[in-house]
Amino acid sequence: MSFGDPNNPYGPPPQQPPAAPGYGYPQQTPGVPPQQGYGYPQQPAYPGYPGGNQMVPQSMPGLLVTARVFLYIISAVQIIGGLVYLYVAAFVNDVSDSADSLSSSSNDPFSDIGDIGGAAAGLIGGLAIFLLALAALSITLGVKFGRGGQGVRITTVIYGALGTIVGLLLLFIGLDSGLASATIFPLLWVAFGAVITAAPVVPSGTAWFNRPRY
């Protein structure tokens, strides 16, 4: 019996044909890296920012959180200042009304005091309203950091830059006065304004305000 006989029990087993690839499993070409599996689409890349492609931040960057806290602190100072100026304006207006009631003629000196007091009360009241409006803007920007887009970002940068300029002017006035106590508040104001201006401009802040919203 020859070894070539297929019925020979002592011969080598017949060679089996290569198994066909299973259904749903594409053939793998040697030397080619495996492709991503079916049902797992590739993750789309987000738009690049300065410095290369970056992942979308999942939480607000620390510098933006600090800027938000500074906005709330500034709004508290503005509210307190606005209320104080309102009280002063009301007091000056009461003094002006009392002077008008004491004046008996146009040549009476009390009439001049009343006119000056009325004008001063109007200016102080206008300043109070202006401070309260700025406080509302500070609070609104801080709240909008969570969902705001480019409009909030640009407004914050402009607002912080203007605040920094005002702080620098007050700082120069304080330094010119020679009083160390007159420079503390302007110095803090400059520091707050610089952080508020820089936070939306740095790459992490830009990525936060450019992130997709669903």
Can you list the alpha helix ranges (DSSP code H) found in 103-149? 109-144
Position 59 in a domain: no
List pLDDT tens digits, range 190-209: 999 999 999 999 999 999 88
Number of structural domains found in the chain = 2
Is 183 found in the same domain as 118? no
Is 165 found in the same domain as 126? no
Is 126 found in the same domain as 158? no
Q: Which domain holds residue 169?
A: 145-214
Position 55 in a domain: no
Position 139 in a domain: no
Is 107 found in the same domain as 164? no
CA distance 5 to 89: 119
CA distance 189 to 141: 17
Position 25 in a domain: no
List pLDDT tens digits, range 45-94: 444 444 444 555 678 899 999 999 999 999 999 999 999 999 999 998 88
